[in-house]
Amino acid sequence: MELTNRSATELARDLRDGTIPARSVMEAFLDRIEAANPAINAIVSLRPRAELLAEAEAADRAVTRGPLHGLPIAVKDLVATKGLRTTYGSPLYADHVPPADDLIADRMRAAGAIFIGKTNTPEWGHGSHSFNPVHGVTRNPYDLSRSAGGSSGGAAAALAARMVPVADGSDMMGSLRNPAAFCNVYGLRPTWGLVPQDAVGDTHFATVATDGPMARNPADLLLLLRVLAGPSAKVPFNRADALPERLEPADMKGLRIGWLGDWGGAYPLEPGIAELCEDGLRTLEDLGARVEPLPPPFSAEQLWTSWTTLRAMLNAGSKKALYDDPEKRALLKPETRWEVEQGAGLSAAAVYAASEIRSRWFARAAKLFRQYDALVLPSAQVWPFPVEWRWPEAINGRKMDTYHRWMEVVVPVSLIGLPSLAVPAGFGAAGLPMGMQIFGPQGSDARLLAIGAAWHRATDWPNRRPPPLPS
Question: 196-216 pLDDT, tens per residue?
Answer: 999 999 999 999 999 999 999
Domain hosting residue 278, numbered range: 3-464
In degrees and rounded to multiples of 5, residue 253 shows phi and psi of -60, 120
Whether residue 186 is contained in a domain is answered as: yes
Please indicate whether residue 359 is annotated as part of the active site.
no
Query: Which residues lie below 8 Å from residue 258, measured CB to CB, with a gap of 6+?
Result: 291, 292, 293, 294, 368, 371, 372, 374, 375, 376
So what's the pLDDT on residue 160? Answer: 98
Given the residues 45, 90, 147, 151, select the one marked as catalytic: 151
Residues 7 and 166: their CA atoms lie apart, in Å, by: 8
Average pLDDT, the chain: 97
Name residue 465's amino acid.
Answer: R
Selecting among 76, 118, 319, 333, the annotated active-site residue is 76
What pLDDT band is residue 110 in, cutting at 50, 70 and 90?
Answer: very high
pLDDT band at 79 (very low <50, low <70, confident <90, very high): very high
Any domain includes 469: no
The total domain count for the chain is: 1
For the cut 80, the answer to whether the pLDDT of residue 156 exceeds it is: yes
Is 175 one of the annotated active-site residues of the chain?
A: yes
pLDDT at position 471: 59
On whether residue 215 sits in a domain, the answer given is: yes
- For residue 76, indicate whether it is catalytic: yes
Q: What is the pLDDT of residues 323-336, one digit of tens each?
A: 999 999 999 999 99
Coarse DSSP helix, strand, coil percentages of the chain, rounded to the nearest 5 percent:
40, 15, 45
For 94, other C-beta atoms within 10 Å of its C-beta total 15
- Find the CATH number of the domain harbouring 9: 3.90.1300.10
Q: What is the pLDDT of residues 398-450, one digit of tens each?
A: 999 999 999 999 999 999 999 999 999 999 999 999 999 999 999 999 999 99
pLDDT tens digit sequence for 280-330 = 999 999 999 999 999 999 999 999 999 999 999 999 999 999 999 999 999
Residue 106 and residue 81: Cα distance in Å, rounded?
A: 8
Q: Which one of 175, 379, 414, 420 is the catalytic residue?
A: 175
User: In this structure, is residue 470 part of a structural domain?
Assistant: no
Residue 471 within a domain: no
